[in-house]
């Protein structure tokens, strides 16, 4: 039945061609992203921090925990210490660079965890309706109704404060928000005709949820994940500030502010530089989210 | 000679895109006199709406008038500033858009919105403005105008809303009324009523009307002159009579040939789709814009230089932009005598629906607040059969239950009571999830909306391949070949398999959806309004495709539509539904000949007839369709029936009159009486 022309097209199509097409698709997406000013700026800030974090052992002028007792007399910025030192004579620039590493691992991991859990909950709640939806939405409401800071303090005080535990609490508290977004979109998408078509060929509920519905929710989901990474960075800072963040002595931006904010009037640079680091990264992620939303709107 | 109200001279419009400025309208000229109605027709994307927006100077940020003049009442609209434009818009030029709900403010009563117009434009006092609004509402035939003034837009039906919008446009007594697809979203009977109203208003007032539509039938009803547009140019212009009885441009002929009308039947006169599709405007070439799709194209001659507009000697005002104007054979309307069939659906039914009822129960939870919601009866005692290898068409206006019937057949909804037999197997109460693989293979569906029928995240190849895997046990190695084979069946290139849905046109998406439905080689295809969102030329191609596939594969086709002409063309049997009941069921030739059910009669008279000379007996249905919980006890159609006989219609459900083995009508009026009444009306109309 198939003509020679058909056979030719088909023989040319498998893996190599598919790879070329996939690459072209990514190329197009990147072009679209770079066409938006906020996205370009956001991407530049985030990428700069990622590169600096990765290269911290190379570019940081000092080990993060090394004290320079000589600098204690004049801890302000100097040629030896570009951003000055903290109250223990540790080089601020080095600590800030090293401090980017845990943040850039914990915040995205926590968002991925929240997105995975939230999508699963949101899809189930939106697709099944009735009591499953009721149980999930109520459970989410309960988590969301807690004052989060107190929740963090209780959990981290009980289980101890470690990177994994922080990822855990962030996942737990952010998942309900993502679940809500995904549920809302699922309620809309499940009425689409392609979902009816999938039912008519006997697809399982899991297939419909993850293959038919979720990919079409990815645009807004991606924007939200980007925003939420920024929020997570703020929260990690807050946890550090409250003393329930990453354990000392390794550098942690929030912890650095906590240790020095008492000396704000004398040596403001000690707390302001870590604060600036946090803000810039958060702004970077927010701008990236704005850019992603623009692209989503245009498609 | 008096000066025209609107004189468009060599208008050129371009839109800015990422690829640069694209000329949408290269050079367009037309005139419109007071009291005259000019129709602009053409496929979507041919620049009709751009013309309207240019006249209103509403082009938006991307669009720009790059040349020419738009002279309205002696002033060039292109040169006016915002302030001067404001004094013209709404007062001298009014516009009616497609969606009335988008034109009305949902938080203001209709009355306030109407009264505002004369108060703002003419500085009239409130009381006087109110009096004018009431008079205007009566003029657009709104019953109980006083009460309607106090209502909010959402409390009115679509037809009433559009009447209000028309009233609002006319209340300032504009010199020019622009109507952009004013009846596209409306049901056929409502559309007929609105068109009738426009025609009447035009006779009574001196307003010039620019009527934009893709529907040739509605243009015949309303306009004096017609301009046929293709790719931003008017390719033929003339009186309604010229265009519809002696079309000279191949594109006009193509539009007429692909339009199903009541006189066409798949057995005699096939629809002729226009080949290809509208080419992107960015690729404009020197010669005739239609050359790539034209059957009469002469290489070199038609494509080498701009085509001038030529006047026809014998027909004043008839202009055509075609070089081969005088070489083409004379056009004849394709019409066929009604064929008689000798098929019987009930003899060997593939689908047998008996006394099917579907009731939607309201959610229990809501009962806590206020009164309990009444249950909604979507289908009541529906009995229809579809024979093997035949096409059953289900026709009716929105809300008549035709889609619910499709959903019960496909298992997306379950029946409340009654029997639904698919090839002898009872399926009415079996949800699609609970259906066996064999049963799922037997029946597949084609959906209405081309934009949501394919998953935007999956390639065409994946969509079809997945259907093949689920419905046919295929080894992955030959799946690609099978996908290509199915794409060929629906006349798409196999290379389409790697495309994403957003890269396809509406017609292509619908073809892919058909290919997907065919993956399991189904015995029954249920198609729910598969062509209603498509352009006429594309619609013809998809209808032909469905017809071919059905004939070649011996499948049973259940075709759901609101378009009687399409149904007349495609069906073997027809069920006419109204408010969840079957008003009339039978072989297509019998349903489309007297005696009709009064509802069928009304629907038929609402179908546009492409003949300017024929002023058929017109029945305009008054009043809205009752809400689902207000259905009369007796005949559901009693509230709107023009042949209502009396109290019995309200109180007693109509008996089903069996007229021969293959035709039945649910009506209190005896069939013989109906036949007498209806043939008399037709004769009377013929005598006029």
ipTM: 0.82
Q: What is residue A9's predicted lDDT score, i.e. its pLDDT? A: 40
Residues of B with CB under 8 A from a CB of A: 410-412, 432-433, 435, 437, 440, 444-445, 447-449, 452-458, 463, 466-467, 470-471, 480-481, 484-485, 488, 494-495, 497-498, 502, 513, 516, 519-520
Count other C-beta atoms under 10 Å from residue B398's C-beta.
15
Q: Which pLDDT band holds residue A53 (cuts at 50, 70, 90)?
A: very high
Per the prediction, chain B carries an average pLDDT of 85
Q: Which residue of B has its CA nearest to A215?
A: B457
Q: What is residue B306's predicted lDDT score, i.e. its pLDDT? A: 83
Is the Cβ–Cβ distance between B230 and B239 less than 8 Å? no
**What percent of chain B clears pLDDT 70, i.e. is strictly above it?**
93
Lowest mean pLDDT among A1-10, B234-243, B539-548: A1-10
Nearest-CB residue to B480 (from A10, A196, A199):
A10
Q: What is residue B634's predicted lDDT score, i.e. its pLDDT? A: 87
Nearest-CB residue to B485 (from A2, A14, A193):
A2
**Taking residues B46-65, what's their average pLDDT?**
86
CA B342 to chain centre: 31
**pLDDT tens profile B66-92:** 889 999 988 898 888 888 888 888 889
Please answer yes or no on whether A199 and B452 come within 8 Å at the CB atom: no
Return the number of CB contacts < 8 Å for A and B: 84
Q: Which residues contact B539 (CB under 8 A, 6 or more apart)?
A: B258, B531, B566
The answer to whether residue A175 scores a pLDDT higher than 90 is yes
Q: Does A15 touch chain B (CB under 8 A)?
A: no
Nearest-CB residue to A200 (from B445, B495, B497):
B445
**Taking residues B648-653, what's their average pLDDT?**
89
Sheet holding B349-360, edge to edge: B376-387, B349-360, B417-422, B425-426
Q: Does A203 touch chain B (CB under 8 A)?
A: yes
**Taking residues B39-67, what's their average pLDDT?**
87
Nearest-CB residue to B484 (from A2, A197, A201):
A2
Q: What is residue B273's predicted lDDT score, i.e. its pLDDT? A: 82
The answer to whether residue A6 scores a pLDDT higher than 50 is no
Count other C-beta atoms under 10 Å from residue B440's C-beta.
21
Contacts of B467 in chain A (CB under 8 A): 197, 201
ω before B595 within 30° of 0 (cis)?
yes
The answer to whether residue B648 scores a pLDDT higher than 60 is yes
Distance from CA of B117 to the nearest CA of A (A): 35
The answer to whether residue A45 scores a pLDDT higher than 90 is yes
Q: What is residue B684's predicted lDDT score, i.e. its pLDDT? A: 56
The count of residues in chain B is: 688
Find the angle CA(B75)-CA(B81)-CA(B84) to the nearest 5 degrees.
60
CA-CA distance, B26 to A137, in Å (whole number)?
57
Distance from CA of A36 to the nearest CA of B (A): 13
pTM of the model: 0.84
**pLDDT tens profile B201-237:** 888 888 899 999 988 888 888 899 999 999 888 999 9
CA-CA distance, B288 to B302, in Å (whole number)?
6
Q: Is the dihedral of CA B274, B278, B283, B286 positive or negative?
A: positive
Angle, helices A92-128 vs A218-242, to 10°: value is 130
Distance from CA of B499 to the nearest CA of A (A): 10
Nearest-CB residue to B457 (from A9, A203, A216):
A216
CA-CA distance, B450 to A246, in Å (whole number)?
53
Nearest-CB residue to B453 (from A14, A21, A193):
A193
Distance from CA of B637 to the nearest CA of A (A): 31
Contacts of B466 in chain A (CB under 8 A): 201
Q: Which residue of A has its CA nearest to B484?
A: A6
| Selected residue with higher pLDDT from B367 and B135 | B135
Distance from CA of A211 to the nearest CA of B (A): 9
Q: What is residue A1's predicted lDDT score, i.e. its pLDDT? A: 36
User: Of the segments B64-78, B304-318, B629-643, which one has the largest average pLDDT value?
Assistant: B64-78
Distance from CA of A9 to the nearest CA of B (A): 7
CA distances from A20 to A13, A16, A128, B151, B181 (A): 10, 6, 38, 59, 44
Interface test with B, best of A200, A222, A298 (most B CBs within 10 A): A200
Interface test with B, best of A131, A188, A190, A193 (most B CBs within 10 A): A193
| Selected residue with higher pLDDT from A29 and B426 | B426
Q: What is residue B664's predicted lDDT score, i.e. its pLDDT? A: 92
Please answer yes or no on whether B470 and A216 come within 8 Å at the CB atom: no
Interface test with A, best of B431, B432, B442, B452 (most A CBs within 10 A): B452
Q: Is B559 helix (H, G, I), strand (E, B) or coil?
A: strand
Q: Which of B314, B249, B199, B240 is nearest to B614 (CA)?
A: B240
Return the DSSP state at B352. E
Contacts of A14 in chain B (CB under 8 A): 480
Distance from CA of B468 to the nearest CA of A (A): 9
Please answer yes or no on whether A9 and B452 come within 8 Å at the CB atom: no
Q: What is residue B220's predicted lDDT score, i.e. its pLDDT? A: 87
Q: Does A259 touch chain B (CB under 8 A)?
A: no
Q: What is residue A5's predicted lDDT score, i.e. its pLDDT? A: 40
Q: Which residue of B has its CA nearest to A191?
A: B452
CA-CA distance, B311 to B238, in Å (whole number)?
10
Q: Which residue of A has its CA nearest to B435?
A: A202
Is the Cβ–Cβ distance between B213 and B259 less than 8 Å? no
Contacts of A7 in chain B (CB under 8 A): 481
Helix (H) or strand (E) holding B16: strand B6-17
Q: Which residue of A has its CA nearest to B446?
A: A197
Q: Which of B565, B639, B666 is nearest to B606 (CA)?
A: B565
Q: Does A74 touch chain B (CB under 8 A)?
A: no
B663-666 vs B417-422, strand pairing mode: unpaired
Angle, helices B158-170 vs B110-122, to 10°: value is 10
Contacts of A5 in chain B (CB under 8 A): 494
Please answer yes or no on whether A193 and B449 come within 8 Å at the CB atom: yes
CA-CA distance, B443 to B439, in Å (whole number)?
7
Please answer yes or no on whether A200 and B466 come within 8 Å at the CB atom: no
CA-CA distance, B603 to B400, in Å (whole number)?
13
Q: What is residue A60's predicted lDDT score, i.e. its pLDDT? A: 85
Q: Could you tell me the two tokens for A258? A: 């906590």
The answer to whether residue A299 scores a pLDDT higher than 80 is no
Please answer yes or no on whether A197 and B516 come within 8 Å at the CB atom: yes
Q: What is residue A229's predicted lDDT score, i.e. its pLDDT? A: 94
**pLDDT tens profile B490-540:** 988 888 898 889 888 888 999 999 999 998 889 999 999 998 888 888 888
Q: Does A298 touch chain B (CB under 8 A)?
A: no
**Taking residues B104-128, what's their average pLDDT?**
90
The answer to whether residue B408 scores a pLDDT higher than 90 is yes
Q: What is residue A130's predicted lDDT score, i.e. its pLDDT? A: 80
Count other C-beta atoms under 10 Å from residue A87's C-beta.
14
Q: What is residue B364's predicted lDDT score, i.e. its pLDDT? A: 58
Return the DSSP state at B492. -
Return the DSSP state at B624. P
Q: What is residue B64's predicted lDDT score, i.e. its pLDDT? A: 87
Nearest-CB residue to B494 (from A9, A14, A197):
A9
Task: Provide φ and ψ at B663, rounded to 5°.
Answer: -160, 130
The answer to whether residue B373 scores a pLDDT higher than 70 is no
Lowest mean pLDDT among B247-251, B358-362, B457-461: B358-362
DSSP string computed for B68-134: EEEEETTEEGGG--HHHHHHHBTTTEEEE-S-HHHHS-TTS-HHHHHHHHHHHHH---HHHHHHHHH
| Selected residue with higher pLDDT from B283 and B529 | B529
Sheet holding B6-17, edge to edge: B20-32, B6-17, B63-72, B75-76
Nearest-CB residue to B433 (from A1, A194, A199):
A199
**Taking residues B97-118, what's their average pLDDT?**
89
ω before A249 within 30° of 0 (cis)?
yes
Please answer yes or no on whether B453 and A197 come within 8 Å at the CB atom: yes
Q: What is residue A285's predicted lDDT score, i.e. its pLDDT? A: 94
Task: Provide φ and ψ at B280, rounded to 5°.
Answer: -60, 145
Per the prediction, chain A carries an average pLDDT of 86
**What percent of chain A clears pLDDT 90, i.e. is strictly above it?**
49
Q: What is residue B688's predicted lDDT score, i.e. its pLDDT? A: 41
Please answer yes or no on whether B449 and A201 come within 8 Å at the CB atom: no
Return the DSSP state at B268. T
Q: Is the dihedral of CA A64, A68, A69, A71 positive or negative?
A: negative
Task: Provide φ and ψ at B360, rounded to 5°.
Answer: -90, 115
DSSP string computed for B365-376: GGGGSSSPPPPE
Interface test with B, best of A18, A19, A134, A194 (most B CBs within 10 A): A194
Q: Is B407 helix (H, G, I), strand (E, B) or coil?
A: helix
């Amino acid at each position: 039945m198939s003509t020679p022309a058909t056979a030719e097209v088909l023989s040319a199509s498998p893996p190599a061609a598919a790879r070329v097409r996939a690459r072209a698709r990514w190329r197009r997406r990147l072009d679209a992203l770079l066409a938006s000013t906020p996205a370009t700026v956001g991407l530049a800030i985030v990428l700069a921090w990622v590169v600096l974090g990765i290269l911290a052992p190379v570019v940081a002028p000092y080990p993060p925990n090394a004290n320079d007792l000589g600098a204690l007399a004049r801890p302000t910025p100097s040629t030896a210490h570009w951003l000055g030192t903290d109250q223990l004579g540790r080089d601020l620039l080095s600590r800030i660079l090293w401090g980017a590493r845990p943040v850039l691992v914990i915040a995205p991991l926590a968002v991925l965890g929240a997105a995975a859990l939230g999508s699963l909950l949101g899809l189930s709640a939106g697709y099944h309706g009735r009591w499953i939806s009721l149980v999930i939405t109520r459970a989410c409401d309960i988590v969301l109704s807690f004052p989060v800071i107190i929740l963090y303090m209780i959990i981290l005080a009980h289980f101890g404060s470690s990177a994994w535990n922080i990822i855990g609490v962030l996942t737990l508290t952010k998942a309900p928000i993502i679940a809500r977004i995904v549920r809302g979109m699922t309620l809309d998408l499940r009425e689409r005709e392609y979902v009816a078509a999938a039912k008519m060929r006997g697809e399982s509920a899991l297939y419909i949820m993850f293959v038919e519905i979720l990919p079409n929710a990815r645009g807004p989901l991606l924007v939200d994940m980007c925003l939420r990474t920024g929020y997570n960075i703020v929260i990690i800072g807050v946890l550090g500030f409250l003393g329930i963040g990453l354990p000392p002595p390794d550098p942690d931006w929030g912890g650095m502010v906590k240790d020095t904010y008492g000396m704000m009037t004398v040596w403001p640079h000690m707390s302001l530089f870590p604060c600036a680091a946090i803000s810039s990264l958060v702004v970077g992620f927010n701008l990236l989210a704005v850019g992603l939303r623009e692209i989503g709107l245009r498609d | 000679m008096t000066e025209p109200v609107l004189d468009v001279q060599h208008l050129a419009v371009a839109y800015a895109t990422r690829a640069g400025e694209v000329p949408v309208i290269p050079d367009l000229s037309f005139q419109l006199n007071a009291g005259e109605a000019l129709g602009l027709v053409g496929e979507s994307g041919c620049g009709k709406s751009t013309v309207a927006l240019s006249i209103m100077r509403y082009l938006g940020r991307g669009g720009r008038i790059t040349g020419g003049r738009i002279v309205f009442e002696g002033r060039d609209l292109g040169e006016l500033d915002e302030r001067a434009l404001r004094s013209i818009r709404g007062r001298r030029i009014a516009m009616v858009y497609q969606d009335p709900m988008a034109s009305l403010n949902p938080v203001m009563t209709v009355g306030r919105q109407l009264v505002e117009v004369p108060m703002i434009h003419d500085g009239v006092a409130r009381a006087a403005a109110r009096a004018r609004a009431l008079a205007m509402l009566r003029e657009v035939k709104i019953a109980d105008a006083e009460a309607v003034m106090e209502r909010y837009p959402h409390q009115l039906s679509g037809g009433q809303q559009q009447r209000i919008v028309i009233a609002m446009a006319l209340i300032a007594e504009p010199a020019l009324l622009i109507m952009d697809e004013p009846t596209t979203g409306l049901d056929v009977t409502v559309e007929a009523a609105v068109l009738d109203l426009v025609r009447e208003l035009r006779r009574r007032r001196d307003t010039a009307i620019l009527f934009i539509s893709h529907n040739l039938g509605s243009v015949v009803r309303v306009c004096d002159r017609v301009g046929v547009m293709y790719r931003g140019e008017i390719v033929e212009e003339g009186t309604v009579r010229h265009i519809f009885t002696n079309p000279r441009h191949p594109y006009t002929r193509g539009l007429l040939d692909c339009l199903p009308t009541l006189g066409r039947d798949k057995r005699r006169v096939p629809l002729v789709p226009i080949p290809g599709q509208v080419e992107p405007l960015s690729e404009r070439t020197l010669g005739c814009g239609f050359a790539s799709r034209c059957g009469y194209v002469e290489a070199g001659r038609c494509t080498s230089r701009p085509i001038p507009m030529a006047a026809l000697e014998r027909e004043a005002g008839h202009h055509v932009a075609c070089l081969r104007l005088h070489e083409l054979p004379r056009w004849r309307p394709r019409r066929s005598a009604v064929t008689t069939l000798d098929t019987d659906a009930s003899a060997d039914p593939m689908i047998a629906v008996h006394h099917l009822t579907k009731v939607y129960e309201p959610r229990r939870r809501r009962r806590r607040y206020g009164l309990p919601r009444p249950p909604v009866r979507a289908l009541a005692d529906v009995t229809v059969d579809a024979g093997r290898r035949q096409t059953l068409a289900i026709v009716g206006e929105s809300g008549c239950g035709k889609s619910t019937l499709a959903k019960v057949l496909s298992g997306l909804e379950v029946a409340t009571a009654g029997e639904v037999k698919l090839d002898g197997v009872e399926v009415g109460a079996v949800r699609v999830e609970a259906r066996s693989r064999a049963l799922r293979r037997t029946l597949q569906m084609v959906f209405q909306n081309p934009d949501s029928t394919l998953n935007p995240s999956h390639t065409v190849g994946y969509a079809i391949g997945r259907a093949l895997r689920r419905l046919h046990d295929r080894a992955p190695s030959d799946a690609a070949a099978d996908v290509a084979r199915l794409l060929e069946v629906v006349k798409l290139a196999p290379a389409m398999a790697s495309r994403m849905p957003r890269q396809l046109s509406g017609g292509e998406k619908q073809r892919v959806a058909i290919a997907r439905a065919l993956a399991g080689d189904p015995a029954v295809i249920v198609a729910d309004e598969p062509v209603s969102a498509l352009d006429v030329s594309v619609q013809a191609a998809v209808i032909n495709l469905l017809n071919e596939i059905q004939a070649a594969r011996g499948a049973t086709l259940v075709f759901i539509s609101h378009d009687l002409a399409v149904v007349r063309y495609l069906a073997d049997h027809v069920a006419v539904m109204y408010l969840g009941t079957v008003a009339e069921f039978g072989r297509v030739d019998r349903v489309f000949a007297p005696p009709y059910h009064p509802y069928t009669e009304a629907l038929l008279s609402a179908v546009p007839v492409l003949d300017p000379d024929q002023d058929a007996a017109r029945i305009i249905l008054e009043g809205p369709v009752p809400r689902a919980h207000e259905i009369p006890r007796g005949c559901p159609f009693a509230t709107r029936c023009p042949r209502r006989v009396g109290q019995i219609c309200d109180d007693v459900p109509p008996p089903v009159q069996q007229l021969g083995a293959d035709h039945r009508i649910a009506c209190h009026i005896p069939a013989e009486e109906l036949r007498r009444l209806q043939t008399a009306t037709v004769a009377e109309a013929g005598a006029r």
